[in-house]
Amino acid sequence: MKHMNRRSFLGASLALGAASFFPAPAQIARGANERVRIGAIGLGVRGNEHIAAFRKMDDVDVVAISDPDSARVDASVKKHELSTVKRFADCREVIDDTNVDAVVITTCDHWHCLAAIWAMQAGKDVYVEKPLAHNVYEGIQACNAARKYKRICQVGMQQRSDKMQVEIKKFLHDEKSLGAIQMARVNHYMPRNPIGLRQEPLEFPATVDKNLWLGPAEDMPMYRNTLQYDWHWSFNTGTGEMGNWGVHVLDDCRNNVLLDAMEFPKRILGGGVRAGEKDGGETPNIHFVYFDSGTIPVVLALSTLAMKDSKSAGPHPGPGSGYIAYCEGGRLEGQRGSAKAFDAEGKLIKQWKGDSGQWDHQRDFIEAVKSQDNSNLKGEIAVGKATSEWCNLANIAFRCGKPITEERAATIARAATGAEKIWGEALESAQTTLQSHGVSMLDSEVVCSDMLTFDSETRQFVGVDSDKANSYLKRTYRNSEFTVPEIN
């Protein structure tokens, strides 16, 4: 294949900084009336939503689709009446198609960066769903690829395209309406059902090309009931709820509270457990994290475990899925599509109503593809990479966790410098939910890391438990065909 040659040509080129924007377009900008031809890679629920959205645009054509599951390909053809569209199992066929200008990638997490890099190497612009990266290494390479090959790349964090975000930032930072921001909390409390536990490994459906579905992932036995979607809860193919919904709410905080000021947190402390009914998942359904950003401390609390005999995923302040900026003169509570500000006495003083970004995010991508100018992208790959990295580090902290002994508990409780109160509340919430299931926070399967230190210059952990933490920065690849290349 032609693409095999392109993919093997990595070259030793000018090193480009991952956070810098490319200085000039790689292709001649299209005229206002020219059409953009889209190839869709990945045909799950989100992939079909993207196809529907792009097909509503007068200047966009969906010309190719691909998925390793032929049943999904057939279903998308029927759903969207795509009888004339090219259809493939292998995403490389879409990427190699000279009639495709840009691709939208809505695969499993473990495929995001490799598919994006291949596409950018082939001269395609890319819209890739969140989280950008399955691990820190891959996010860095994908961003480097966008700079090296001078491609447009938008990450699917669509709430950034909600116009209310500009107003919120002005309220918090320009007008300083609530005074200085002291700390922030990020919440995601939404129950999920267990995914089942099989005695024998799950077999791939006859409609699925196993080699293409696995791609960069290892060939490991799966003991859940279904192949699709529940790949989220395996570290081999997914990033857990942290990379599924945590990335959205954490991105709102990074955008509106931290103003994207730091790519990596300086230190991180995190832990949790997968509790409740035993199933085939391994990512935590209770996850608590402290981020030392160097300025405003951030606490993230995530629970998808319903309390016993309750529909609640645990007690919490503020929105069930959103963030709270605690300020000198009050607080701001934000979530997808709305926000509220309260004064120091708890009185509501201002409200915002948004549209969650809706499909403006996709429209901005098309405009950038046509102009070959990424300056108006709200989810440009650099910010998508940074939020993805925070989620990756949160998962690493959990994977470096150790049982919480009574002696360690006191140290952990005091560790969240500048955010002790909200850190304590997050731990108490986890304890309340776990106690309803008869699980103790102490001397149990619940784990918490020691404080981990991350060097943003070397992009490596240093100090305590650094060897183990660094082992999770990059995955083990199944074979050379599906290895994410290092892009210099």
Computed over every residue of the chain, the mean pLDDT equals 94
* Band of residue 31 on the pLDDT scale cut at 50, 70, 90: low
pTM to 2 decimals?
0.93
Cα gap 174→201, rounded to integer Å: 56
Element at 299 (helix H, strand E) = strand 298-303
Q: Which of 412, 449, 452, 417 is nearest to 428 (CA)?
A: 412
Query: What would the pLDDT profile of 226-281 be if each residue is shown by its tens digit?
Result: 999 999 999 999 999 999 999 999 999 999 999 999 999 999 999 999 999 999 99
pLDDT tens-digit map of 98-145: 999 999 999 999 999 999 999 999 999 999 999 999 999 999 999 999
∠ Cα 106 112 113 (to 5°):
155
Mean per-residue pLDDT, 182-207:
98
* Neighbouring-strand partners of residue 447: 272, 403
Cβ(185)–Cβ(423) below 8 Å: no
Q: In 3D, which of 186, 181, 165, 417 has the Cα closest to residue 324? A: 186
